[in-house]
Structure 1
Amino acid sequence: MRDNDGDSLLLGQRVVAILETGLRTATYKLATLMALIDHCIENMPASPDDVLDIPIPALAHRVLEIYWLQVRPFEGQILSQMTGGPKGVIPNAARRLRAAAHVANSRAPLDVAISRVPHAYETALDEVSVCLAGEPLRRLQRFGGAAGSDPFLYDDAFLQKPSSSAKRVRGYSIELKPGVAHGLARLAGLLKPALEIMWVDDVRRMNKFLYAEVPDIAGHLFGRERAALEKVREPFKDAFGPHCFYCSTHLPTGNPIDHVLPWSLVGIDGLANLVLACARCNGDKSNALPAVPIIDQLLDRDRGMLEQIASEIGWPTQRDRVVAAAVGIYRMQPAGVPTWSGYKQTTRLDIAFPPSWE
């Protein structure tokens, strides 16, 4: 039997070492790693030792989704994501897509653009795919000062002579080595916060107007603005009643909207991952992993009602992603891990996996 905990720890150490041993001139490596982690969570192999094939366009979609929110102006300024100015293939692709979809500076999800302007989305996806194949994916496994890469995540030999053809890149995939998908997913709770800290530091370094007192640059970069979800509140109250999803207390005006699967672990903004909450439960739960019965309750909600709300307010449900992420998250949890089951309550995880989520 393999020591999967030891393997995951070694993997995490190597990932951090890659990022800390060289000067990053763009945030692309950080975005690629975040996208890899999210893909692994939502596409968890059945066995910890299995490989995982990831089409580059699928990875490009996730990278585009990250920058989709980040390219909005921050305090009237366009943030640079690379040394030397605001230019950059991936942020510019996201900006052009936002303009084509007429979403202004709102936090409307990427799915809105996919629905409104599918051809513009495909163009942006091709641009990001070619960029990933040409730069971050073939440099991601290179330690600072090393002449070549150390392919501990995936074999990158075919990327060393990248093609500039979007048609060819659409057919490219990377295959994560045995154990890597499970290891990245299992380390998500540690690696993603570390990547965010590095990202904020890089953006501050790349944008001289961001002094230490500038408020909540992390919130802007990683989508934690609570006001952005306000349009969900009233339709949810009309559909499900003005009660806290967790404790059923009656809700006042302006109550929080909570991500059941924590935003810090999987950035899913779809209606299927959102609930009405009271301030007490919302603050107590924070980024904790919810108990399995809470996920059962979440996924038992009326699908037709969620789709109706989605149609009325132009917001995706993303139910399939929520199910896939939940399966991946709980599959990688060790037995007995504490989960949040209500205000000041925890339950040890003890389930016969997989649950009947669908």
Structure 2
Amino acid sequence: MTSEAPDPLLLGQRVVAILETGLRTATYKLATLMALIEHCIENLPENPDDPLRVPLPELAHRVLRTYWRQVRPFDGHELRQSTQPRARILIATNELRDAAGRAGSVEIACLRAPTAYQKAIEDITLCLAQQPLHRLQKLPGADGSDPFLYDDGFLHDHVSRSTLRAHGDAIELRPGVAAGLARLAGLLKPALEIMWVEDVRRMNKFLDAEVPDVAGHLFGRERAALSAVREPFKDAFGPHCFYCAAHLPTNNPIDHVLPWSVVGIDGLSNLVLACARCNGDKSGALPAVGLVDRALRRDRIVLEEIASALQWPTQHERVVAAARGIYRGQPAGVPTWSGYRRRERLDVSFPSW
């Protein structure tokens, strides 16, 4: 293995080849890859050819966040996500949900039940090390893994907590891998979601072709839950569309400034009031940098007051980190959404974040 940074397209092809070869017995590999991509976006190295250290507890937190919505009953059933009798990550997720009173997010659960949260992170960290992380780079039938993403030589089915601690409770992505995964996020994440839905349908026999919107249950955002921020935002910032300043009706949309399909951040710093016209036109498009900059410059004290009243995190620093990673990973001059039926070429020269 050389230290030369990989070509992003080749990297993406290798990732998909690993996943498409052989039968997946759980959704854990998909969850791990999605968490890795998310971590790369939010922690992109200054030099794109550099390696990136990934703390396993942070990876576990991202995996926990992904399954948080998915463990809710769907059509009266608990969805299986593994062919094994004990799905350790789902068990850990459900135990925390019970301890935290079915909190709306992992961040709120962490505040309500810190001891249970820490146990869930420890359980998921060990499961990731013993299962998907040391199998993620191995083709079926191969004698060993091909560590093109990270060194997995110390990982195996029975790796202990002491061994993980001896390795700093972390893996290190190879040079250039973080930048490659971040740049491919817009292509890889939808592909992983499609595989995930296929796997869940295969593992749950009641999910035939007539059962609708499995994808929405697994990966969609809860619009009813987002509506809780509507009136506090109108009181604080006025009943106007963040993008075009149009006066808003009663049930206007709440928009994710950084697209939900790319980073899935529900923190208040990433949410704005929008009219239906702008919300529909923007959809999952990458917004112009100026719009992100304006959203991040809103009064943080006001946002924190709303967050306290709603028990809803602002996640300001996470939004800033994600914005840096998303835009630095884009080719120069790509089109971005700047308003209803308006586009402008990407320019990242001015924001302070």
TM-score by length of 1: 0.94
**Aligned with 1:220 (options 200, 217, 221):** 217
Is the 1:129–1:169 Cα contact (8 Å) retained in structure 2? Answer: no
What is aligned with 2:164?
A: 169
**101 and 130 in structure 1: CA distance in 2 versus 1, 3 angstrom threshold:** same
Matched, 1:159 2:155: yes
> Does residue 328 of structure 1 match 2:328?
no
The aligned amino acid for 1:103 is R
CA deviations on 1:110-145 (whole Å, 9 max, x unpaired) are 100011111100000000000001010000001122
Mapped to 2, the partners of 1:185 and 1:223 lie a distance apart of 21
Structure 2 unmatched ranges of 5 or more: none
| Residue in structure 2 matched with residue 144 of structure 1 by the alignment | 140
Following the alignment from structure 2 to structure 1, what is the Cα–Cα distance between the partners of residues 217 and 105?
14
Q: In the TM superposition, what are the counterparts of 1:102-251 in structure 2 within 5 Å?
A: 102-103=101-102, 108-160=104-156, 162-165=158-161, 169=164, 171-251=168-248
2: CA distance between counterparts of 1:32 and 1:10?
A: 20
2:304–2:314 CA contact under 8 A, matched in 1: yes
Shift of 1:168: 5.0
State the alpha-carbon separation in 2 of the partners of residues 322 and 202 from structure 1.
Answer: 31
Q: Write the distance in 2 (CA, Å) between the matches of 1:242 and 1:213.
A: 40
Deviation of 1:206 (Å): 0.4
2:296 corresponds to 1:299: yes
Counterpart in the other structure of 1:260: 257
Once residues 29 and 169 of structure 1 are traced to their aligned partners in structure 2, the CA distance between those partners, rounded to angstroms, is: 19
Distance across 2 between alignment mates of 1:160 and 1:84: 18
CA positional deviation for 1:307? 0.5
- State the SS of the aligned residue for 1:50: coil
Any conservation in 2 of the 1:27–1:199 contact (CA below 8 Å)? yes
Cα distance between partner residues in 2 of 1:91 and 1:256: 32
RMSD value over aligned CA atoms? 1.6
Which 4+ stretches in 1 moved above 3 angstroms?
Answer: 167-171
Secondary structure of 1:258's aligned partner: strand
Q: Is the 8 A contact 2:241 2:248 kept in 1?
A: yes
AA aligned to 2:193 is: E
Q: How far apart, in 2, do the equivalents of 1:35 and 1:49 lie?
A: 20
* CA shift for structure 1 position 220: 0.9
C-alpha contact 1:219 1:225 (8 A) present in aligned 2: no
Corresponding residue of 1:64: 64
For residue 189 of structure 1, give the secondary structure of its aligned residue in structure 2: helix
Greater shift in the superposed pair: 334-343 or 234-243: 234-243
Which amino acid is 1:124 matched to? A
Deviations, residues 144-180 of structure 1 (Å, cap 9, x unaligned): 2222111000010011364333x65353211100010
For 2:156 and 2:92, the matched residues in 1 are separated by 24
CA contact (8 A) 2:257 2:272 kept: yes
Q: Counterpart of 1:40? A: 40
Normalising by structure 2, we get a TM-score of: 0.96
Pair 79,136 (structure 1): closer, same or farther in 2 beyond 3 Å = same
Count of residues in Structure 1 that have an aligned counterpart in Structure 2: 349
Flag the 1:118–1:180 CA change in 2: closer, same or farther, 3 A: same
The residue matched to 2:172 in structure 1 has which SS? strand
Distance 1:37 1:84 in 2: 26
Deviation at 1:350, TM superposition (A): 2.4
Question: Partners of 2:244 and 2:283 in 1: how far apart?
Answer: 15
Give, as a single letter, the amino acid of the residue that structure 1 aligns with 2:88: V
Q: Give the deviation of 1:3 after TM superposition.
A: 10
For 1:245 and 1:350, locate their aligned partners in 2 and report how far apart those are by CA, in whole Å. 21
Letter in 1 for 2:201: R
**Within 5 A, what are the aligned runs for 1:279-298?**
279-298=276-295
Corresponding position of 1:344: 341
